[in-house]
Amino acid sequence: MSRQERLLWWLASVALAVLLVMMVAKLSELRLLSPIFLPPPQRIWAALTKGLTTGNLATMSLATIRHMVVGLAIAACLGIGLGAMIGTSAKARAYLLPTLEILRPFPSSAIIPVTIAYFGLTETMMLAVIAFGSLWPILMGTIHGFAMIEPRLADVSRALGLSRRSALMKIALPHAMPDILGGMRIGLTMALVLATVGEMLTGRNGLGQTILLAARSFRTADLYAGIILLGVIGFASMLIFDRVERRLLHWRS
């Protein structure tokens, strides 16, 4: 399919999306769709713009982003650091991998009651949950990346007499990067999910709290506005991540 054809179909897709939105607006106007469950798009838009400008949606969005980023950063530091140590040592892998494999299938959200028990409904609890949930994919990805060293590169490293630190930074790390980034991508998704859940449970600032409160008081337009913003955060973070990944892995054919 040529580029022009693709562009045309994409435009048609945009038109379809607009059409669907207009259809919903019409259905709502004709009271065929209860506005409690799906308010007319104009009202959602109004709630969105008002919330962002005069309301607190912007603050809440930033709070969610902050939770996401901080939790993810902790997970990344721990995950990559520990992953590098474990991945490069066959001994460490023998001792630790079985334990990690046992812990892996536990859903991260199931940890929440445990963390609440230890930390209470606090910011720390939230960050602990986010970090824990994002840690697993990053850790396992990093271990895999460092463990699966291309034997020829190991030969080259030894033949050139690279110091252990040089070998780690110049060969092992770049070689493991695709796996590390793969893990981080999943960790990123988990971070957003757990940040939202954490905010819903602890009632701390963030979009999770916003949408839960909106649902409780039947302010459906605000609820949808919050959901949209969460979608936007998810979309934007993936976009940024893709950019970063493409730059770091520019050498892939």
Partner 1 sequence: MARAPAAADPVIAASGVSLDLGGTAVLSDIDLAVARGEVVCIVGASGCGKTSLLRLLAGLLHPTAGAVSYEGQPVSKPRSDIAFVFQDYGKALLPWRNAAQNVSLALEAIGMPKAARSNRIAELLAKVGLAGHAEKLPHELSGGMQQRLQIARCLAQEPSVLLMDEPFGALDAMTRQALQDETLAIAEASRASIVFVTHDLDEAIYLGDRVLGLAGSPGRIGDTVAVRLPRPRDQLTTREDPEFVRLRRALHDFIGTVASDRQAR
Partner 2 sequence: MERRPVHFNWRGLVLPVGFLLGVELIATTTSIERDAFAPPSAILSAAAGTLASGAALKATAETLITAGSGLLLGLLLGLLLGIPLGLDRRADLLMMVPLESLRPVPPVALIPLSLLIFGFGYRMEIAVVAFAVVGPIFLFTRSAIRGIEPQLMEVAHALGLGFVARVTKIVLPAILPRICVAFRVALGIALVVAVTVEITANPLGLGYAMTIAQQSLQPDLMFALLLWIGLTGWSLNALLLAAESRLFGAAA
What does the binding site for partner 2 look like in residue numbers (CB under 8 A)? 1, 6, 9-10, 12-14, 16-17, 20, 36-37, 91, 94-99, 102, 105-114, 116-118, 189, 192-193, 196-197, 200-201, 207-208, 211-212, 214-216, 218, 220, 223-224, 226-227, 230-232, 234-235, 238
Q: Give the whole-angstrom CA distance, residue 203 versus residue 222.
A: 17
CA angle at residue 46 from 44 to 52, to 5 degrees? Answer: 100
Q: Does 52 bind partner 1 (CB under 8 A)?
A: no
Is 13 a binding residue for partner 1 by CB under 8 A? The answer is: no
What does 75-130 look like in DSSP terms, one character per residue?
HHHHHHHHHHHHHH-HHHHHHHHHHHHHHTTS-GGGHHHHHHHHH-SSHHHHHHHH
**Out of 3, 107, 161, 216, which residue is the one contacting partner 1 (CB under 8 A)?**
161
Rg of the chain's alpha carbons, rounded to an integer? Answer: 23
- For the packed helices 57-88 and 41-53, what is the interaxial angle rounded to 10 degrees? 80
Q: Which stretch binds partner 1 (CB under 8 A): 13-21, 69-77, 111-119, 158-166?
A: 158-166
| Piece of 102-110, 137-145, 157-165, 188-196 that binds partner 1 (CB under 8 A) | 157-165
Minimum Å gap between C-beta 89 and partner 1 is 20
| Interacting span for partner 1 (CB under 8 A) from 28-36, 128-136, 221-229, 245-253 | 245-253
Q: What is the DSSP letter of 31?
A: T
The region of 1-9, 112-120, 159-167, 210-218 touching partner 1 under the rule CB under 8 A is 159-167
Closest separation between CB of residue 208 and partner 2, Å? 8
Length of the chain counted residue by residue: 253
Determine the Cα angle at 63 with ends 125 and 139, to 5°: 55
CB-based contacts of 52: which residues, under 8 Å, 6+ apart? 58
Scanning residues 134 to 153, which ones bind partner 1 (CB under 8 A)? 150, 152-153
Residues touching partner 1, count (CB under 8 A): 19
| Interacting residue with partner 1 among 6, 26, 104, 158 (CB under 8 A) | 158
Distance, in Å, from the CA atom of 98 to the CA atom of 54, rounded to the nearest integer, reads 53
